[in-house]
Structure 1
């Protein structure tokens, strides 16, 4: 059993509940979506350069960094066969594991494991071009350790985010974040929308790594 890893590095979490905390990042190759604003398209190609690593090798790398948090990302990490083998090994080794997923793949299996990772799920709004692929049944398996993130590029995106949050009662199930498509909408517009619509318990979050380093920089 091996995993195709296009990047592994240590940085800070740029978004999610652990934003600003140091983390080990494992980026897998391949994605089943093609979002209009994707900033990791280079990792999604089936022929993107990748290193084949066993679960044990990934755990050894994570341990060598001395960093507790591990973020599994992509691409789409839930496309990796037998991902539970890796998450079980990481968690049993003392790591806190977060899976960043695009929201189109089922989380039920991992969510029900005794050694449970946390999830940050995207809901792909209309501007992404991928909204029809969202698997809202995932919301039944979320807890307050998990996050649903809406990346908005327009006011119409924000209107749809508000509808989804209300329809599924997301603020009662998990943490909810709004984030702007970098360069497409002003954060101030999003704040105004949140206040106007009394979006209690929803947080605005900017991608920290895009302010600390150049927005297209890899390995951060």
Structure 2
């Protein structure tokens, strides 16, 4: 059984200091946009993404996931609402800030693709308005553009280090999450897809496995 113990207090060895958090928090303030213009613009952008996804050649999957990765770009000086893009329907993969814009990469399962469409349609529908703003105001009015994510969307280093000459052999670090067997299978399938070669070196960080050598030959 635990018992209460007195704290040790050392007088004369401490001095009070004012504390100020380095984090300023995420502002919930999102300016209202022109509902019709903005909502229809995002709806068209997202529809083009879905059409492109449906019309693309069906390749063997690299992972067991069936869905799309979408890039959300915020308006200038506007934070994306994390709780709206990382939940039951959407999985937040990364969030970076550059030039006063936030860019989020989210994964949307194939069965949940219409959920985002519904959020935009509800935003456009005046009968679903809240007291002050359209429904889903914080989410929709924070997004300036929606784009289909590509492999460069997952690049974590400086953008100018992305190879622009596909004929030059390069080595990359590949970070994957999961158990070792699944990660190895994903890495092998990815190398087959890009016509690369998987190196023999890896480092296990319990939840992340780092492959130090993926050599790309695609031209």
Q: TM > 0.5 between the two?
A: no
TM-score by length of 1: 0.27
Tell which structure's C-alpha radius of gyration is larger.
2
TM-score by length of 2: 0.27
